[in-house]
Every structure is written in C-alpha cells, then in structure tokens.
Structure 1
Amino acid sequence: MAQSVRDAVRTLMRDWKLTTVFGNPGSTEIAFLADWPDDFRYVLGLQEASVVAMADAFAQLTRNAAVVNLHSAGGLGHGLGSLVTAFHNRAPLILIAGQQSRSLLPGDPFLGALDPTEFPKPYVKWSYQPARAEDVPAAFARAYLLATQAPRGPVYLSVPADDWDQPAEVVQTRPRIADPAPDDEALASVAAALDASERPVLVVGAAVDDDDAVEVAVGLAEKLRAAVWAAPFSARSSFPEDHPLFSGFLPPNRAGVAGVLADHDCVVVLGAPAFTYHVVTGSGPELPPVHVLSDDPQLLARANGVGVRSPQRAGIARLTELVQTSERVPPAARQRPPRLPDPSPGEPLSGAFVYQTLADLLPANALVVEEAPTNRPDMQERLPITARGRGFLTMSSGVLGYGLPAAVGAALAEPGRPVVAVLGDGGSMYGIQALWTAARQQTAVVFVILDNGEYGAVRKHAVRNGAEKVPGIELGGLDFRDLARGMGCAAHQISTATELRTTLEAALASSAPTLLHVRLT
C-alpha cells in the first residue's frame, strides 16, 4: 500500500522531533489531522494569535522548529500579529494553513485563500503552495531546513485539503544547515580595534541568548574589562544583570544611545541591530566606531557600523581568543535603587514594588516572560535577570498579545521549570484565551497581571508628544480573577503587600496555573 502525503510528512516530523503541533482547526485542516498519531501532541489554542505566540516561545526554548496548524485565510489572518513577533523574535515556525480542495479552487470557493503565498509576506522567510499534492513532503522538508537555518525564522505552507490523502514518495530527512563559520580575518580586525581601545563597550542583543552564547559573552567582557549594555528592545536577556560589568539598558532613541556610548571609543554590538529606535529625538553626539557581529545579512547591511557575519557563540568565542587580556580599570558598577518599603495601609501597590517582591521570591531557575511595557523600567530596575542564558522572553515587535500565550508555550517546552509571566492589563486581553490552554495542559505558570486601568504606554506617548484629548486609552472594569477562573485557572485579587507575598509563594509551589490580579490604581 502506497503511503499518503500525510504519512510522508508525519515521518519527517518524527525524524525531526516535531511531534508537538500547535493549532486551532477548521474544515480545511481535517485531512491533516485525521487518524492523529498517539505519539503526537496537539496543543489547542482558542484563537490563532495565541496559538502562534505559544509556538514561538516553544520553538525558542527547544531550539527546534515548531509546527503550527492554522485555518485557511481567516485563521492565518488572526495569527498575523503574532507572526510579526515571531519574525522579529527569529522563532523557527512552520506554519501550515489549510487551503480549499484543488478541484474547487477555479471557482473561488468558500474558505478558499486568495493568493495564499502573498498573505503572510514579508514576515516569513519562505511562502509556498505546492504545485502538486505529491510535492507537499518535499516542500515541508524545505520549510524545516529554511526555518532552522540562520537567521532562523517562520516559514509558511498553504496545503489544499485534498492533498493529504494523495500518494507520495518517501522524502529523506537531512541534517539542519550548519551556521556559517565566523570570518576570522574580520574578527581579527575587531580584536585589534578592541586592543587599541581605552574604553571599549559591548552591546548585547537577543541573538546572543538564542545561540546559547551568554557564558562566552561574559568571558569576553571579563577579559576586556568592558562595560556591557543591553540593546534597545532586546527580547531576551543576554548578560547576567547582577554582573558588575553590566551597565544597563540602552534607550530606544538616537540621542539617548549616542549619549550613553559617547564615553567609549570602540563599540562592539553582539547579536543585535545597531540600533533599534522608537521615538524621534535629536541626533546627539557622534557615535564612536561601531562593529556588529550577526548571522543576519539584512541586519548587517542596514547596521550603523562595520558588519561581521558570524554566529554568536562561535564568533564571540573566537574574538575572546584573539583579544589581549586587559589591565583596564573596569567601569563603575551599576547603582541599584534603594529598597522600597511596604505600602501604607490603603495605599495601592506599585509596579516597582511588585517587581521587587518577585525578585525576592523567584527561584534561581525561573523563566520570566514579560509584556508590561508601561512598567518595563520598573522591571529593569527591580527584577534583575541573573540567569546565564534562557532566563527571559518578551516580544521584540511591539505587537501586544505575546506574553500570556508565550508563557504557556514556554512551560510546555520546559515543564520542570518555574515560569512567571508579568503582564499588563491591556496586553493580557489580546491573548486571554491562552488561560484555557494553560489549564487544559496543566502548565504550572504564574500569571501576574499589573492592572493600571489603561493603555499606559499610549498615554506616555501622548504626554511626550503634547497630544491632548486622546481617546481609547482608558480601560478599567476588567476582572481577571473571574476571567481566569472561568477558563479553569486558580486566581486571586491582590491589593496588599502581604497578599502579594503569600499568594505568590503558594502559586510558585503549585503544579497548576495561577493568576494574580494586582490592581495598581
């Protein structure tokens, strides 16, 4: 008996350890899902944007591709916001969306996807609908090898519903494409610039952590005795924030970055753009010479500096070998703010106090997933990420709705690890459906929702720009405790420091998902 397209693709999925599938099904996906294997896991999400965000975090932490199964046209459309984030997060996703049956396509059928390969662009590395049913397995193999090839990222396949039952040839699995070797001559020039420098500085971005290169980055910084800054909007923590060489977080504007770096005479950017800006400012002082190490040719082409194409771990390790051990006086240690006292009776909790309490109570191996933009400065001041790799995730796109479902995907990737998601009230409502998946999958996630009753980041921008009478900012009236309980999670309202500590301790000890609704106003 000849094997089907479905059988051939599942063989590839087994060989590449892609047996967890995230999805929200529709009629055009039935043939893909039929006779679901017992050794496969299907993680159901109740909205496609949440599904993609779960898979994003899962793929980042497993360092393998994740398969996402979405419904034709509309399902992909719902997921596009999270696809933007996955693209910027460099998450290796294989999105498979159902297409209406080939025999119906000439008549523009119900649930048919118009120009399906154009729909997800430009936020995929590759977009394809096979010309013939028998080409689907080979297309899936190409999708996997592209998604996992540096720079990693999402790919998209549109598969007509009647393709899955057609006969197919065996497609052999192949090893993943190796990262490019670092350019030794280019690295030598960077090393020479560092050796000649009096006040060098390193700027680390998400790709350092993505390549498990935090330890080698620490080694390079210590050998150089150089200050280390986190790149603007870095979606991961790529240097332990309690290290004496860690200086802080670069602001997302040209004048702010230039002002911080003006005291240095050589800048080496590792695994980050140089630089990501968000608000318009003056240009500030002239930047010192900048060198950028990245495996992304697009990033290198637009970077404000000399580009070196290199993976992070191998490139930083080689650079560490090439530079001389420095006798420079190390930079002054970053000053931490004094501890906050407990709020007075009747005084609302602040985001800063919540982060301070989290820092007191989180286990050393906890993973923090964050999406509370208004309170991010409080997090950076009060909750240092001290893990030497894989301790922090957020979205690098600015598209809300990532944090809550991403925490669920992270817990599925590393089920034995404490996962704490710190979220804003506005962003939480973009992915609130993922609480149902958290309960169904029994993921031991602690969700801490900081409720300030508004889109606080939007209000800050309005104030900064002198804009008055801006509508659509106020929220309020959201009861996250009832929402969470209605989807099967334990949940608590928090209004005092004592409630915060005792409830957080209990939630961290629980094996079930728990939500803490903290009203800040």
Structure 2
Amino acid sequence: MAGSAPQQNQGNNVLGLSVRSGGDRKWTVRESVIDFARRVGMTSIFANPGSTELPMFRDFPADFRYVLGLQEAVVVGMADGYAQATGNAALVNLHSAAGVGNAMGNIFTAFRNRTPLVITAGQQARSILPFDPFLAATQATELPKPYVKWSIEPARAQDVPLAIARAYYLAMQEPRGPVFVSIPVDDWDQPGDPVPARSVAQRTRPEPTMLERIGEMLDACERPAFVVGGAVDRANAVQDVVRLAERHRARAYVAPMTGRCSFPEDHPLFAGFLPAMRESIVQLLSGHDAIFVIGAPAFTYHVEGQGPHVPLGAQLCQLIDDPGVAAWTPVGLAAVGNVKLGILDLLERPAPCERSLPAPREQAPRALPPAGVGERMSAAFALQTLSDVRDPASLVVEEAPGARPVMQKYLPITHAGTFLTMDSGGLGYGMPAAVGMALARPGERVIALIGDGSSMYSIQAIWSAVQLKLPVTFVILNNTRYAALQDFAPVFGFAPDEPVQGTELPGLDFVALATGMCCSGVRVSEATQLAGALRHALAADGPALVEVIVA
C-alpha cells in the first residue's frame, strides 16, 4: 500500500534494505532518491509545489502518493500526524526559503514532538547561485536550524541520494526528529548511483548498571510515583509501563506538556496531569518518596519558579531516549536509551515486596447543561457530551489550549496510540495533523478537537481532508477569544478584570469556512442539540465540521 512503513526486524530494530539490480544502466539522482524512498516506505510525499521542485516530480511513480497542502505549515503538520501514526519517517517537500519560512512553526513543533521527517526544499540551479538569483535560498541549511537534527545542501548533485539516506537514518534514530536537505533544481537529472543496502540501528539499550540503580530505588521506596511522557507511547511501551506501575503500586502522572497518551486515564493508578509550574509540580508530588520520570523531561516549565524541583526527601530517577534532556535534568540519576527496552529490563527484576494500592483519583462531577434560556453551554458539558457519544478507541488530535484542563477531566483518553497534540505550544498543528493521522489509519475516524483561535492558523487543512475523502470530524470550540491567554494573564500580573489586548475573536463563522471548502458543517449553540449533531458528524461519509458555541 502506498505510504506503508518498511518491514522491520523487531529483534534487532534495524532496517533490512536491498537495492534492485540496475545492470549497466545509468541512474539519475531522481531515480536513486525514489528507489531509496520506496525501499524505506516513504512513498507519500507531503508537499506544496514550487518551480524549484518541479523536476523532482517528473515521471511521478504510480506507487507514490502526492499529498497536497495549501500552505507549507499544513504540509508539515499533515506529515507530522502521518509519521507519528505510522512510526516511520514522512517525506516532505517545500518551496525554497519562502516555503521553509512558512513551515517553520510546525517544523519547530515536529522537533519538540520528536517526529521523524525528511524535509526537502528546492534551491535554485547551481550555475546561477553566484548571481543571487530569484528564489535562491541564501544559506539554505541555516534557515531551519536549530529545529532540525541535521541540515545539508550536498556539495555535488551525485551526493543527493546519499544525503537523503543519511537524513532518513538520522530522523529515525532516537531521539527522532526532522532533518533538512536543500536540493538545487538542476540536480535531479544528473547521474546519481543507487543507495547501497544498509542496516542501521534505530534504538539503544539503556545501561544496565543505571537501570539496576533505578530498580533498587523503586524497590526500597514506600510511595513511588511515575511521571510519564510522550516517549512511552512513541516506543509502544504503554502497557509495559502499566505493568511496572502495577507491580510497584505507583501512582502515574502525566508530565507537563505531553503530546501523547502514555498511560490509560481510566486506570485506577492514574493520578492526573502535572502543570508546567515548578511549585505546583512539587505540591502535587508531595508525599511520594521516589519519582520515576519515564519518557519525559524532568520537568518542562512554562513560567519562572523557585525552590526545589522535587519534594523534600524524595529521590528522582529518569529513563529517557534523549541524552540532551538527561544532561540538564537538575537532580537524581538518568538512564538513557529506548524506553521500551529499559522498562522490559526493569520488569525482568524480581518483584518487590507487596505494597498497598493507593486510593484512586477523585473523579470530576458530571457537567450540567446551562440552567437558563439563552445561556451558552460550558466547555466541560461539550467535551463530556463528546466523550459520551464517541467510540473510546477513536483517534483524537487536540489543539484547544484554553480547554485542555477541561478536556483532561471530561474527555479521558484510555487507549495507547489514539491521542496527539503539540509538545511545542505552537498553534497551527492540530487540524493538519488530524488529516495526516487519518491518512495513516485508513477507515478509522479521527476527531480534531480545535479551539476557534487555533483553527485559523491552518484552516486550509479542511480542503485536504475533503479532497482525500478522509473520515475527520472537526469539532471547533468557539468561545470567541484566545481563552488560554486570558486565563493565563493573571500569572503575569494582570488584574482580574483587566482586558488583555488582542485576545477577542468575534465574527468567525466556521460553518461558512467549511462550506467554502466543500465540507459539511453545522453550528450548535443549544446544549440539547449537541449529542445528535456530534453523532451525525462522527458517522459522516468523509469529513464533517461541528462548531460548538461555548461560554
């Protein structure tokens, strides 16, 4: 199938590749790149076309798929959702410096999401680069830095296929992330040898002595806490972490700003979400004498804080796939390597002495519909209704920062691999990521839960969903404001009733916008109509939009 991931040797976690015989025939750069991309499963190309990229797509192969986005941020967002859903790097093509500039917000998000992307961009012809030609990318390799793992413009046309191969292997090695290759327009028809077959490891096993120390700490403590992050889900280790938490009777918290579901939120040991504030983290973790951070930084902060990073008397340990993150962890000990391999090694240890189970987390009360005629429904009631009518295993992509604390109470995510949001805090990711996820998971319904302000960053993604006939239900929470900024303003000294400039968003009609891109839509302002509207949109043949007017 077009876009499928390559077969992998799960035992050694390597890619086994073979080059088809070319005999004495001369290969071009284009043929060699296409051949390599086919062998590693990058047969969906997410792109917005430009003149300096056109030669890449001449004689476009029948087994490849060109996924068009109407703006470069949409292109990268779709590729991000697709790559996260498949577990394989996605191939992106952008238009010179202008295209890379348009895409930078979502390149930054892909970097924070640890999403493997091979990003290519066109460059002007080599022969006229000395004359500063129109559409030339000045210092092309510097533009996407520092938010790519590697960036290159090959010195010769013949080096392009090997640069693409190196980019792929780097993107797939943990910690995964985007890479960038700038390719002059006249390189594609030059001679270029096929890429030799290679096997490259994607993950490493954590050091046994460090895991032994972590295991001893967990065995000796009395009240352990796990803090889980996105790398748990990326490593397909959610159920393994659940087993380890059950063995140690450890409460499980979600790390601040985590973009995936790494512990089922209906599990008795689930303890809730940590905010990105030092003092609040310490307060919520108080009472625990050992804190094991798995697949996440310790910790991500949003505002300046004071005091200790963990409760007094508590020990901190960490298992992370990113040595750069481990290097700045302020206290404790850190094991670096693949999260799943590390957890499996910890599960091989003898079971510790039996502990009593901690009390389950108190559940939020049911949200009530509006009491008075003409009152807007709350976001809590809207998300509770969505939770009631959706399949618990359906896929959710979220970008509604103002409603995220409410979502965490009223829309629990209970299945691994079914939730995405942005680790970066940058807007414009959610709508295209939902399209990419739907493309990667054929036949599965994807719910894009988006704020009204967030949706306007990449609203063009609706068009792509329509053209691809994808089962995406866009749920727009419309409170006519940038609610997250207004709610956050008191932290920076705003008085309770002081206006926050630039945060009001009147006059947006999302049903009209969707209709203009041939997507069906409905606006719901009455609480009694919401469940029916959502059921209809979730059963639609193709994309549908529900605009929910909330308080």
How many angstroms does 1:283 deviate by? 2.5
Q: Is the 8 A contact 2:369 2:378 kept in 1?
A: no
- Distance, in Å, in 2 between the alignment partners of 1:449 and 1:173 is 47
Q: In the alignment, does 2:395 pair up with 1:373?
A: no
- Distance, in Å, in 2 between the alignment partners of 1:477 and 1:214 is 43
Equivalence for 2:51 = 27
Equivalence for 1:152 = 176
Equivalence for 2:445 = 418
- Distance, in Å, in 2 between the alignment partners of 1:275 and 1:315 is 20
- Distance, in Å, in 2 between the alignment partners of 1:66 and 1:56 is 7
- Name the aligned partner's letter for residue 320 of structure 2: S
Among all aligned residue pairs of Structure 1 and Structure 2, give the percentage whose two residues are the same amino acid.
52
Greater CA deviation, 121-130 or 456-465?
456-465
- Distance, in Å, in 2 between the alignment partners of 1:281 and 1:65 is 37
How many angstroms does 1:330 deviate by? 1.3
Determine helix, strand or coil for the equivalent of 2:341: helix
The structure-2 alpha-carbon separation of the partners of 1:429 and 1:287, relative to structure 1 and needing over 3 Å to count, comes to farther
Mapping for residues 372-521 of structure 1, pairs under 5 Å: 372-387=400-415, 389-467=416-494, 468-521=498-551
Structure 2: 5+ residue stretches without partners: 1-24
- Distance, in Å, in 2 between the alignment partners of 1:323 and 1:336 is 34
* RMSD of aligned alpha carbons: 1.2
Equivalence for 1:115 = 139
- Name the aligned partner's letter for residue 275 of structure 1: F
Determine helix, strand or coil for the equivalent of 2:242: helix
- Distance, in Å, in 1 between the alignment partners of 2:272 and 2:54 is 50
- Name the aligned partner's letter for residue 28 of structure 1: T
Q: Is the 8 A contact 2:434 2:472 kept in 1?
A: yes
How many angstroms does 1:18 deviate by? 0.6
- Distance, in Å, in 1 between the alignment partners of 2:340 and 2:109 is 24
Determine helix, strand or coil for the equivalent of 2:73: helix
- Distance, in Å, in 1 between the alignment partners of 2:346 and 2:150 is 33
Determine helix, strand or coil for the equivalent of 2:140: coil
Determine helix, strand or coil for the equivalent of 2:59: coil
- Name the aligned partner's letter for residue 492 of structure 1: V
How many angstroms does 1:276 deviate by? 0.3
Q: Is the 8 A contact 2:253 2:273 kept in 1?
A: yes
How many angstroms does 1:350 deviate by? 1.2
Equivalence for 2:20 = none
- Distance, in Å, in 1 between the alignment partners of 2:200 and 2:420 is 25
Q: In the alignment, does 2:70 pair up with 1:46?
A: yes
- Distance, in Å, in 1 between the alignment partners of 2:89 and 2:533 is 36
The structure-2 alpha-carbon separation of the partners of 1:420 and 1:184, relative to structure 1 and needing over 3 Å to count, comes to same
Equivalence for 2:27 = 3
* Matched length: 520
Q: Is the 8 A contact 1:220 1:320 kept in 2?
A: yes
Q: Is the 8 A contact 1:15 1:173 kept in 2?
A: no
State the TM-score, normalizing by the size of structure 1.
Answer: 0.98
How many angstroms does 1:287 deviate by? 6.7
Q: In the alignment, does 2:312 pair up with 1:286?
A: yes
Equivalence for 2:152 = 128
Q: Is the 8 A contact 1:365 1:418 kept in 2?
A: no
Q: Is the 8 A contact 1:337 1:381 kept in 2?
A: yes
Determine helix, strand or coil for the equivalent of 1:73: helix
Equivalence for 1:335 = 362
Equivalence for 2:17 = none
- Name the aligned partner's letter for residue 344 of structure 2: A
Q: In the alignment, does 2:347 pair up with 1:320?
A: yes
Q: In the alignment, does 2:301 pair up with 1:277?
A: yes
- Distance, in Å, in 2 between the alignment partners of 1:112 and 1:55 is 25
- Distance, in Å, in 1 between the alignment partners of 2:202 and 2:488 is 43
Equivalence for 2:8 = none
Equivalence for 1:301 = 327
Determine helix, strand or coil for the equivalent of 2:67: strand
- Distance, in Å, in 1 between the alignment partners of 2:313 and 2:100 is 42
How many angstroms does 1:323 deviate by? 5.1
Q: In the alignment, does 2:229 pair up with 1:205?
A: yes
How many angstroms does 1:191 deviate by? 0.6
Mapping for residues 45-84 of structure 1, pairs under 5 Å: 45-84=69-108
Q: Is the 8 A contact 1:101 1:161 kept in 2?
A: yes
- Distance, in Å, in 2 between the alignment partners of 1:311 and 1:123 is 22
Mapping for residues 160-179 of structure 1, pairs under 5 Å: 160-179=184-203
Q: Is the 8 A contact 2:466 2:518 kept in 1?
A: yes
Equivalence for 2:22 = none
Determine helix, strand or coil for the equivalent of 2:160: helix
How many angstroms does 1:498 deviate by? 2.8
- Distance, in Å, in 2 between the alignment partners of 1:287 and 1:376 is 32
Determine helix, strand or coil for the equivalent of 1:43: strand
How many angstroms does 1:469 deviate by? 4.4
Q: Is the 8 A contact 1:149 1:178 kept in 2?
A: yes
How many angstroms does 1:33 deviate by? 1.3
Q: Deviations over 1:46-75 (max 9, x none)?
A: 000111011011001100000000000000
Q: Is the 8 A contact 1:271 1:294 kept in 2?
A: yes
Determine helix, strand or coil for the equivalent of 2:96: coil
The list of structure 1 runs, each at least 4 consecutive aligned residues, that deviate by more than 3 angstroms after superposition, is 284-287
- Distance, in Å, in 2 between the alignment partners of 1:406 and 1:122 is 22
Q: In the alignment, does 2:374 pair up with 1:346?
A: yes
- Name the aligned partner's letter for residue 350 of structure 1: S
Q: Is the 8 A contact 2:226 2:252 kept in 1?
A: yes
- Name the aligned partner's letter for residue 332 of structure 1: A
- Distance, in Å, in 1 between the alignment partners of 2:500 and 2:530 is 33
- Name the aligned partner's letter for residue 253 of structure 1: M
How many angstroms does 1:83 deviate by? 0.3
How many angstroms does 1:178 deviate by? 3.2
- Name the aligned partner's letter for residue 216 of structure 2: A
2:391 corresponds, among 357, 363, 367, to 363
Determine helix, strand or coil for the equivalent of 1:202: strand
- Name the aligned partner's letter for residue 162 of structure 1: D
State the TM-score, normalizing by the size of structure 2.
Answer: 0.93
- Name the aligned partner's letter for residue 229 of structure 1: Y
- Distance, in Å, in 1 between the alignment partners of 2:41 and 2:69 is 21
- Distance, in Å, in 1 between the alignment partners of 2:313 and 2:340 is 26
Q: Is the 8 A contact 1:262 1:287 kept in 2?
A: no
Q: Deviations over 1:277-300 (max 9, x none)?
A: 112344265372111101111010
Greater CA deviation, 358-367 or 225-234?
358-367
